[in-house]
């Protein structure tokens, strides 16, 4: 089986606990936090972070259920 980037990410998520997921989200927020951005960018960023957080939670739950 070949290892795709998506598979590698999913395997990494499986190995994370809640604290580690929170640290990843905090890191991403820190990278994206730059003053002077337009309102549209801020809205886009907020939606993106919410989607990332939901994806991390749902992937972690699906691994627990199927494992």
Least confident of 2-6, 39-43, 54-58: 2-6
pLDDT the model gives residue 1 = 46
pLDDT the model gives residue 23 = 86
Query: Tokens 């494992």 belong to which residue?
Result: 67
> To the nearest whole number, what is the mean pLDDT of the chain?
76
Q: Is the pLDDT of residue 66 over 80?
A: no
pTM of the model: 0.42
Counting every residue written for the chain, the total comes to 67
Contact 25, 52 (CB under 8 A): yes
Give the Cβ contact number of residue 63 at 10 Å: 15
What per-residue string of b and e applies to 6-35 under the rule 16 or more CB within 10 Å gives b?
Answer: eeeeeeebeebeeeebeebeeeeeeeeeee
């Amino acid at each position: 089986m070949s290892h795709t980037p998506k598979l590698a990410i999913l395997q990494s998520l499986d190995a994370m606990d809640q604290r580690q997921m929170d640290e990843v989200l905090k890191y991403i927020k820190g990278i994206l936090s730059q003053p002077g951005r337009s309102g549209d960018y801020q809205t886009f960023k907020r939606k993106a972070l919410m989607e990332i957080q939901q994806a991390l939670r749902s992937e972690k739950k699906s691994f627990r259920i199927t494992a």
